[in-house]
Structure 1
Amino acid sequence: MKKQLFAIIFLLGGFTASAQKIPYTNCEKCWLPDSLGNHRVVLSYTGSSAAIVVADIPWRRRDANPQDKRIILVDAKTNKKITNVYVNDITREKGKITFEPTSGTGTYYVYYMPYKNEGRSNYPRGVYLKPEKTASNEWMQKVSNYDAVTGVTVKAFQSIDAFNSFYPMEVIATKAETNALIGKNEKEDFLVFPEDRLNAIRMTKDLPQRWIELGPQNKYTGVAARGENFAFQLGVYALQNIENVKVTFSNLTSPAGKIIPASALFCINTGGTTYDAKPLTKTVNVAQGDIQALWCGVDVPVSALPSIYTGKATILADGKAAKVITISIKVNSKILKDGGVNEPYKMTRLGWLNSTMAQENTVIAPYTPLKVDGNTISLLGRKVEVNKDGFPKQVQTYFTPEMTEYAATPNNLLTEGIHFHFINADGKKINLKSQGVQFNKKEAGTVQWTAVNANDSLQMDVSASLEFDGFMAYTVKVKALQDVSLKEINMHIPLKKDFAKYMMGLGQKGGDRPENFEWKWDVAHKNQDGAWVGNVNGGLQYSLRDEKYVRPLNTNFYLQKPLILPSSWGNDNKGGIKIAFDGKAVLVNNYSGERNLKKGEELYYNFTLLITPFHTINTDFQWATRFYHAYKPIDTIKAAGASLINIHHATAINPTINYPFIAWHKMKAYDDSAHSAGLKVKIYNTIRELSNHAYETFALRSLGHEIYSPGKGGGFSWLQEHVGDDYIAAWFVPEIKDAAIINSGMNRWHNYYVEGMNWLTQNVGIDGIYLDDVAFDRVTMKRVKRVLIKDGHPGIIDLHSANQYNKSDGFNNSANLYMEHFPYLNRLWFGEYFDYEKNDPDFFLTEVSGIPFGLMGEMLQGGGNKWRGMVYGMTNRMPWSDGADPRPIWKAWDNFGMKGTKMIGYWVNDNPVKTDKTKVLATVYKKAGAAMVSIASWEDADTDFKLTIDWKKLGIDPAKATITAPEIKSFQPAKTFGLNDRIPVEKGKGWLLIIK
């Protein structure tokens, strides 16, 4: 007869929470997690190696389906895997494991969540290993008939490090414990578990064992410093469905009658302030059996005298009895003038989520205050005349084609005003009478106006604004005053031919505008809703918007949160865009197709405009500011000739992605050393994804999908084990196990981001930021720029983008996508997946160089093309391969003396130096008595060319002139040419010639 096998194991109460004594420990670098997982059970065995051991392990796991994950046993003495193992009765609460103790008495490790990473190293998929049978048949026969037992004890639950530990907030209560708790409180609608700020509530479906031990409470007690931004949690466990959960606070009062006002207390889960400074009210519903963390805070005044301050937090839900929690805060004598934000692990920065820092639309240099004269608004380098219907009658720019100075006479961009057409079912135009434009705000940073246009069947209300950088936003409400059938509602942008030379967007690669262009909406697949059309010294970008417009995700994730099809412009995909010649104009016709409107029905034909360029180009900044894009010793960088250091993430002083607060002491020391050596330092910090090492991770998770996007979960093991599900796994750094999660778009994390940038500028001394694509809008960009340049800091911003023209990004152009940010950038680095060999010159000009927008840039992919790059003043960044090393060109700049030169690009019609070959282009860098001429070939084969020089415009006497090519390593040999020589040029290469 088979005998029941059991272990002699005493766990001091088994699953009775109050008696559980098994410790949770961490063992830093004790094993390789990628093969064995992040967690193990430490078993201690006393007995013979010939015995069969049974271990009952009360592991209380939060992961689903643990029976589907492999168990690996390792003999600690030999560090070898034990093969004779039998696993059965595996649940989330416990597991029974039978094994052969190969070394007899000693320690054995049970690895219970082993995984392997699949896919790309930076986008891994942690796949948990399936159970396997390794035991021999002979041993299994012994197991089934064995009638002797030996003793084994569970000594510890161990994690690879503290960051991976489940203790204490992810150690689950058993079903029996949970049912017992519910039974004791069956008349309650919900229970409240106050929790310390350092024990972030992580689970939403399981109670932590800790709460079973402590039980629900009606009091929270904490200790805070004077001036501290003190955080605490109220964990709500729903015994019934509860809706519209709110928290209200009373004053906190000391025995002496001193008060911390209720206004100093807040709950980030129920309300706050949006990223664009609007009041935010959040609806919090908690389903039966779920847990909701309510993260609360009290901003203790510096003036608060040391004492115990007591008050009430009342938790309300629709139709349910309120819960009143006594809040008792002992305020000690310590004073924190900064609120304690230099210790973010204490959750002192939660109030940053509701920050309004830098929201006032003050003018940012180099821009100038807006001026209104009649219906004309002037701004830096541009003017807008507003028609009586509220739309631009004329848009002017004052930039020369060289983009280095302002012209005396303006460039008119329009042949006539921008206007709408309403066509009835019979094909006849419906005329609306304008009541005139009314300006209702005239401030230095923003001018706003309205206009009403109507007849007996339709009314069009126009509300618009122009900001100091050239951004215009239009809200256009079309209302049917009676039933009306329409063949068309469209908006015409009639551009002068000279200012419609180039186009970018709507599926069109940057370059020459097509003669006839047509486009249709396809928001499910394409991040396209407008385009830029213009020339180097004047153009318009426009975007057609839904009234419920939400900025989509970008950088590989567009398809997971695409554009909303505007019900007006899109009109069930009847709408579209045509661009073609119409008389003297290049007409941009934005049409929406036929439709019937019922009386009272409203449509919003909203759109935005950007007037380009934004300012002149700063060539001297380009020549003098030389980037070193790596974390290296200061002396090494200075010796390389660089002047500005970009510190990427995954470095010692900026280890985690988009959360540069972990090693800020080291970062400050490095910045201070760089400043002493005359160098500037910028750091990688953007919004799109956020490191899992962010101290606020679970506070942000408690906000639902406000901060993090919904998704399928997965990714690196830590995310699966601790975040659980419903997220999008993003960039991962294998060396430091930094796993990011995708942000949801426009949300309150942007408020935190602005505060964080301000803190880094003021306390760490950063000189700017390096943006790796951008997942925020211009509202946040302006705020960031303001805090970066505050108090005289340089506030340098450069933007890197991988080519967005692909399926995952919705086939957009990087320059078109990010143009609203260009007014605040100092340099572009449009590198990855940009082909520097196969594209024509005007692609470089419009989509890569930044010149039509007042910027300059650098190259990246494959080192770029150094000869073609110099036509636009572009080189590479240090450090790269020898073939892309910019130092030889930097030396040539210094030898020539580039500071103060005037850049005259090949795109300037009266460029004083040209070639006789259409595809061999010349850009001149001119100064008194000399010029550096950059030559680059786009010819299909090796060729030669002759220079055509307007000596008078060049300001050089040809009788005394020489043309030389200085030796530049890996670029060109030293050479002297005669004024009339034909100069050979290899395919895809060029020259840097000195004429003097």
Structure 2
Amino acid sequence: MLCLSIFSIPLAAQQIAYTNGNDSWNPDLLGNHRAVVQFSGKGTVAKTTIEWRRRDENPEQKRIIVQDATGAAILNVKTADINRETGTVFFEPVSGKGTYYVYYMPYIDEGLAVYYPKGVYAKPENKADAQWLSKIKTNSANNCSVTAIQSINAFNSFYPMEVIATAAETKNIIAKNSGNAFLVFPEDRLNSIRMRNDLPQRWIQKGIQNSFSDTALRGEYLAFQLGIYALQDLKDVKITFSDLKNKNGEIISAKNIACINTDGVKYDATVLSNKVDVLKGKVQAMWCGVDVPQTTPPGDYSGKIIISSGNASKEIVLQLKVSEGVTTNGGIDQPEKMTRLKWLNSTLAQDNTLIAPYTPLEVKGTEISLLGRKVLLNATGLPDQIQTFFTPEMTSIGTKANDILTAPAQFYFLDNAGNEIGNWKSISFKFTKKEAGTVSWESNTTATAVDMQVNGTLEFDGFLSYTVKITALEDVTFSDINFHLPMQATAAKYMMGLGQKGGNRPETLKWKWDVANKNQDGAWIGNVNAGLQFSLRDEKYSRPLNTNFYLQKPLLLPTSWGNGNKGGIDVLQNGKAILVSAYSGSRSMKKGEVLYYNFNLLITPFHSINTEFQWENKFYHKYSNLDTIVKTGAKVINIHHANEINPYINYPFIEFNKMKNYIDEAHSKGLKVKIYNTIRELSNKAYETFALRSLGHEIYSPGKGGGFSWLQEHVGEDYIAAWFVPEIKDAAIVNSGMNRWHNYYVEGMNWLTQNVGIDGVYLDDVAFDRITMKRIKRVLTQDGHPGILDLHSANQFNKSDGFNNSANLYMEHFPYLNKLWFGEYFDYEKNKPDFFLTEVSGIPFGLMGEMLQDGGNPWRGMIYGMTNRMPWSDNADPRPIWKIWNDFGIKGSEMIGYWSENCPVKTSNDKVLATVYKKNGTALISIASWADDDVKVKLNIDWKKLGINPAKATLIAPAINNFQPAQSFSVKDELPVAKGKGWLLVIK
């Protein structure tokens, strides 16, 4: 937003100045707005009538506070005729003639959590003395003058676009334009149209304008607005543009001019065509832009804009002066001029090119090979077999196939009597795309009463998506349509999802759809080196909200799989197979009726574990002095939001110069710097806030409003208030689902990488899908940039998040992450090892992680190669463990976890686990206990696997501060292991 120190209206019709209070009072006590009045009368009763022209509803229900120039409160106050246009205030001028302040929107924060405030406006109160009240003559003349309407600061000002026209002014302009279906008010890019229910006074003063003029540099994207005021209900408002021509006949093509409200490109590169309706009496901002080619000759250009709805239309002359100067970047370095609105329609990094470490897809017959995995298709297009080739240690890719399925994945159609419909005949199968990053195919299979068309796509990271179209060839009744995914027991040891916390798979699970309360449409079932995530959807799938907001936009029940809550999923033992049976229950279909039984599979793991990255790249998660950080041994800095160089949540573009200076210095000291930036909520400091609001619910989710006062006063209604930082008054609004803000996000990442030098991004939960994740990974890693991504999540397994597992929710992003940080509300004390392995460590997916809540459990963490992250927790300092990593030389070691049958060290107690970090002639052994009490254990060592001569072996526990004392053991000794703790032992 442009921040001006003073605003005023020079026209004779309005003499009140709108000024900046420069944060000179406490808004938490007095609100953000006041009138400055001068008392020049006599006596003990001052009277002022304030023409405040307020956009808020029911101002008579808000308290009035009067203070003198010293800030002393005046108790004798009475109000009269308080309405949105004016208000009369009587007060006792206790300091005599001079300046007084009338605060008219004080609010109280009733929120229990400081980061989610609940601003409530104070109710009127009457503390005036009865004797003083008796002196008031309501019909007396004003003896005060209003010299200014003042906001706490420029950002909170209502001027000029939220100073309302009066009812009389609005009625008058409508009367003067009777017979019109709508009025058009062109507006420049620096004065965003904010109000939907009122005309701004600015438009009354300007009057109806039939033309709009502005100036642009060559190469610049020039944004402007058309304010549509509906005098009757408008349907499908359209805007068309002519070429812009100069006197020499040179043109700026109409192809270079567009309205972002009606036309654009979706986040997945498909065409967007929006229908805009405007109800009678409402204002709709239509944001348009001229993309001026760099080669445009300077001069004056003119053309026409036609705004139409049904048979009604208006013509606006667009006059554009193209100046001599040239901008090479579209002007995006000045986002306050709305130049980045062009980013909303970006297709940057959409081509599905390979991303390291993935390899090209290879097709041989009906077999498709990808990094560490293989998919074998049958004639229906469904998987005949899925294999992985990762070793149990997850440190490499071997040659031995790990079969995931015991039989082909298959749909079953049961007739009304419960008999399977047979006579299936394969009509066709063919590959429709064979590229390095994507392989697609289609098949058609038909039975007597039903046709099944399968379209499948496999991508280089192991994402396998299916669109399954079921068409009734005649009226038919089914007792069930179900899908079987029969898995090998060896590839189905663990499970998370469908209401199950991550851990050992239950023997039997029976699950039913409950989208109103549960963000559940699938699960991950697997082992460390082989597994599948499945998600059941239909063609109407819409991504729900997450992180405390799921219940406000939950999943849509799939018409096919859900079938009015008849559907569900059973997971059970079926012979040697672990059968996932997704049923949908009885239904009838009319001839020609279509259902979509779509589903996605993710084949895990995605790649081998990169332990070297874990040992080398220790993270420091705080904006701090660089020399201080260097001394810790950390190598990567995560810059959160709410600090000097990245103040505003998910909008890191305002203090980018400070950010660049910090990053440049960090690079000179051998450090990498990543920043907080995600899609989930967006700061109200975003320059484009009101342009995005003009897009309806495309960018921002609908909601009940509320929250911090700025949101209530300027956004008004129909939004969800999100994270708030009280120190800098940064108030965020929840993003909606998949939309064009993702295009902006990708472009923003690219700009930050190329111009500011960021080395990656810290993601704090995400509200985008894998399409956007691939795009940002591409722009972050181009031109040799490291593009480090780590994902943090608070535990989503709770009511407000719909009881989903963070790892299950975000698994589609795991192929592109470098590290996990899970997170708040993950209990590292009470949960079992299988929970650590599946939900926290990342190991079954080729990742490693770190701990957060209460500093984590350092003994248990080291079983998975995890510490906590410095300096986030006051309870634990990872540097002593980092020192042991360095002293032992953990870089270059092979991590062999307890989950591998090849682990050379086990203990005599199955609740005390061991992981080995093996090097030539030595090893670091991590031991951690999940036993209920203090225990003693012996080490069972396979010396051959360990590669050490037992006769010469020594076992030493080095001193580690707040972890263990120095101690030597014999390899035959019993080791005392305290409850919930363990050891780090060096064996040579």
TM range (shorter): over 0.9
1:442 maps onto 2:434 in alignment: yes
2:530 aligned with 1:545: no
Q: Quick one: which of 115, 118, 143 aligns to 1:125?
A: 118
Which residue, 366, 373, 396 being the options, matches 2:357? 366
Instruction: Give the secondary structure class of the aligned counterpart of 2:718.
Output: coil
Deviation at 1:267, TM superposition (A): 0.5
Aligned partner of 2:37 in structure 1 is 43
**Post-superposition offset of 1:256:** 1.7
One-letter code aligned to 2:444: V
Q: d(CA) in 2 for partners of 1:543 and 1:287?
A: 39
- Decide whether the 8 Å contact of 1:89 with 1:95 is kept in 2: yes
Shift of 1:21: 1.0
SS in structure 2 at match of 1:884: coil
Q: Is the 8 A contact 1:389 1:435 kept in 2?
A: no
The separation in 2 between residues aligned to 1:844 and 1:217, in whole angstroms, is 65
1:163 equivalent in structure 2: 155
Name the counterpart of 1:220: 212
> Residue 323 of structure 1 aligns with which residue?
314
SS at 2:339 equivalent: coil
Matching residue of 1:350:
341
Q: Which residue is equivalent to 2:765?
A: 773
Distance in 2 between residues matched to 1:121 and 1:426, nearest whole Å: 60
Q: Partner of 2:670: helix, strand, or coil?
A: coil
- Local SS of the residue matching 2:134: helix
Query: Pick from 776, 779, 793: which aligns with 1:784?
Result: 776
Deviation at 1:595, TM superposition (A): 1.3
Distance of 1:294 and 1:358 partners within structure 2: 28
Give deviations 1:372-415, integer Å, cap 9, x for gaps: 00000000000000011110000000100100001111111111
Residue of structure 2 in register with 1:30 after alignment: 24
Q: 1:937 to 1:478 in 2, by over 3 A?
A: same
Q: 1:541-580 residue pairs with structure 2 within 5 A?
A: 541-580=533-572
The corresponding residue for 2:833 is 841
SS at match of 2:532: strand
Match of 1:417 in 2: 408
Query: Which amino acid in structure 2 is aligned with residue 135 of structure 1?
Result: A
Whether the 8 Å CA contact 1:496–1:586 is kept in 2: the answer is: yes
Q: CA deviation at 1:51?
A: 3.1
| 1:595 and 2:587 matched | yes
Count of residue pairs the alignment pairs up = 978
Aligned runs of 1:85-484 on 2, under 5 Å? 85-119=77-111, 120-144=113-137, 151-320=143-312, 322-431=313-422, 432-484=424-476
Cα contact 2:621–2:872 (8 A) shared by 1: no
**Kept in 1: contact 2:48–2:142 (CA 8 A):** no
**1:799/1:825 contact within 8 Å kept:** yes
The answer to whether the 8 A contact 1:501-1:535 is kept is yes
Cα distance in 2, alignment partners of residues 195 and 836 from structure 1: 56
Question: What is the TM-score when the length of structure 1 is the normalising length?
Answer: 0.97
**In structure 2, how many angstroms separate the alpha carbons of the residues matched to 1:913 and 1:388?**
47
Q: Which amino acid aligns with 1:601?
A: E
Matched, 1:585 2:567: no
Which residue of the partner structure matches residue 647 of structure 1? 639
- In 1: Cα distance, 2:178 partner to 2:142 partner: 43
**1:437 Cα deviation after fit:** 2.2
Structure 2 CA distance, aligned partners of 1:596 and 1:176? 60
Superposition map of 1:594-993 within 5 A? 594-881=586-873, 883-993=875-985
| Amino acid in structure 2 at the alignment position of 1:626 | K
Q: What per-residue deviation string (whole Å, max 9, x for no partner) do you get for residues 759-785 of structure 1?
A: 000000000000000100001100010
CA 1:293 to 1:153, structure 2 compared with 1: closer, same or farther past 3 Å? same
Post-superposition offset of 1:692: 0.4
| Residues 277-317 of structure 1 deviation map (CA, whole Å, 9 limit, x = unaligned) | 11111111111111111101011111112111111111111
CA contact (8 A) 2:234 2:279 kept: yes
- AA aligned opposite 1:807: K
Q: 1:22 corresponds to which letter in structure 2?
A: I
Distance 2:142 2:254 in 1: 62
| Alpha-carbon displacement from aligned partner over 1:509-540 (angstroms, at most 9, x marks no partner) | 10100111110000010000000001000000
Amino acid paired to 1:387: N
What letter matches 2:381 in structure 1? G
Alpha-carbon distance in structure 2 between the residues aligned to 1:423 and 1:142: 88
> Is the Cα–Cα contact under 8 Å of residues 475 and 607 in structure 1 kept in the other structure?
yes
- For residue 16 of structure 1, report the CA deviation from its aligned partner: 13
Displacement of 1:148 in angstroms is 7.3
Superposed CA RMSD in Å reads 1.2
Is the contact between residue 231 and residue 297 of structure 1 (CA under 8 Å) also seen in structure 2?
Answer: yes
The one-letter code sitting in structure 1 at the alignment partner of 2:781 is I
Distance 1:894 1:150 in 2: 79
Partner secondary structure for residue 124 of structure 1: coil
Deviation at 1:151, TM superposition (A): 2.4
Q: Output the CA distance in 2 between the equivalents of 1:195 and 1:717.
A: 27
Aligned-partner SS, 2:135 = helix
TM-score calculated relative to the size of structure 2: 0.98
Mapped contact 1:17–1:209 kept (Cα < 8 A):
no
The offset of 1:252, in angstroms, is 1.0
Whole-angstrom distance in 2 between the partners of 1:156 and 1:806: 50
**Tell me, which stretches of 5 or more residues in structure 1 are unaligned?**
1-14
Q: Is the 8 A contact 2:376 2:386 kept in 1?
A: yes
CA contact (8 A) 2:544 2:553 kept: yes
Q: Which amino acid aligns with 2:345?
A: N
SS of the equivalent of 1:524 reads coil
The alignment partner of 2:580 has SS state of strand
C-alpha deviation, 1:922, in angstroms = 0.1
User: What secondary structure does 1:142 align onto?
Assistant: coil
When residues 334 and 147 of structure 1 are mapped into structure 2, their CA distance, relative to the original with a 3 A threshold, is closer
Give the structure 2 partner of residue 526 of structure 1: 518
Shift of 1:977: 0.2
Where 1:19 maps in the other structure, the secondary structure is coil
Partner of 2:6: none
Q: Percent identity?
A: 66
Three-state SS of the structure 2 residue aligned to 1:754 is helix
Does the CA contact (< 8 Å) of 1:53 and 1:149 recur in 2?
A: no
How far does the alpha carbon of each residue in 1:565-610 deviate from its partner, in whole angstroms, 9 at most, with x for none? Answer: 1111111111111111111111111111111221111111110000
Residues in 2 aligned to 1:364 and 1:352: alpha-carbon distance in whole angstroms: 23
Counterparts of 2:447 and 2:224, CA distance in 1 = 59
Shift of 1:883: 3.8
Superposed displacement of residue 17, structure 1: 7.3
With over 3 angstroms needed to count, the CA separation of the structure-2 counterparts of 1:20 and 1:149, relative to structure 1, is: closer
User: Aligned with 1:123: secondary structure?
Assistant: coil
